Amino acid sequence: MSALTLTPRALYEEVAEQLRQRIFRRELEPGSWIDELKIAEEFGISRTPLREALKVLAAEGLVTMKVRRGAYVTEMSEKDLRDVYHLLSLLESDAAGVVAERATPEQQQTLKALHAELEAAVADREKFFAINERFHMLVLEMADNRWRSQMVADLRKVMKLNRHNSLFKQGRIEDSLSEHRAILAAMLARDTKATAKAMQAHFAQGLEAAT
C-alpha cells in the first residue's frame, strides 16, 4: 500500500486531522479499536507521531485511551450527549444574545445571507449540516470571545460522534430550519432574551431528536 502524501505542517497535527475526518465520516466507528500498526504503515510514518496525534484526539474527546488496550474511538452514552448539549446550549445561547445586541448592520446582512444558503440546502443533508455548523460558528465569531469559541469547537467535535442519529432523523432538518428562522428573526430584532431563548429551544429539540 502506498503511503499517503501529507502536507508540510507538524506531522502529528496532519495525522490527527486525517484520523479526525475518518472518525467524522464513520470510517472509524465509535467503539472501534484503532490499529496503530496498520495506520502507521498506511501513512508511511513511525508510531511516534501517530501516538502524538492520538493524544490530541484524546484531549478533544474523540478518542479514549485504555490501559494496555490502546486507543478506541469514543462511544457517546446518553449522559455524555445530554451533558454536551447542555453546555452547548448555555454557551451558544449566550453568544447569540451578544450578537443580537451588538451586531453591526453588515454582520446582520452576513447572517441573513448564510441563513439563505441554509434555506436553499434543505434537500441536501450533508450540505445542510455543513452550513448549519458554519452559521453557529459565525455567531460565535461575531460574539468575539475566543475562550467560548474554543470550548464550543471542542464540544462540537464530540457531538459529531452522534450526528447521524440526530440531525438526519426524519423531519429533523425541516424542524432545525424552522428553529434557525426563529433565532435569526430574534437576532435581527435585537431582542437578546428572545434570541437566547430561541437558541436554547434549538438545542433542546436537537437533543430530543438525538436521544
Q: Would you list the domain boundaries of the chain?
A: 11-73, 78-210
Q: What is the CATH number of domain 11-73?
A: 1.10.10.10
**108 grid coordinates:** 446582520
CA distance 211 to 209: 6
Mind listing the pLDDT tens digit for each residue in 122-145?
Answer: 999 889 989 999 999 999 999 999
Please count the other Cβ atoms lying within 10 Å of the Cβ belonging to residue 4.
12
- The pTM assigned to this predicted structure is 0.80
| pLDDT for res 201 | 97
Q: Which of 156, 162, 15 is nearest to 74 (CA)?
A: 162
Q: Could you tell me the CATH superfamily of domain 78-210? A: GntR ligand-binding domain-like (1.20.120.530)
Mind listing the pLDDT tens digit for each residue in 21-80?
Answer: 999 888 999 899 999 999 999 999 999 999 999 999 999 889 999 988 899 999 988 899
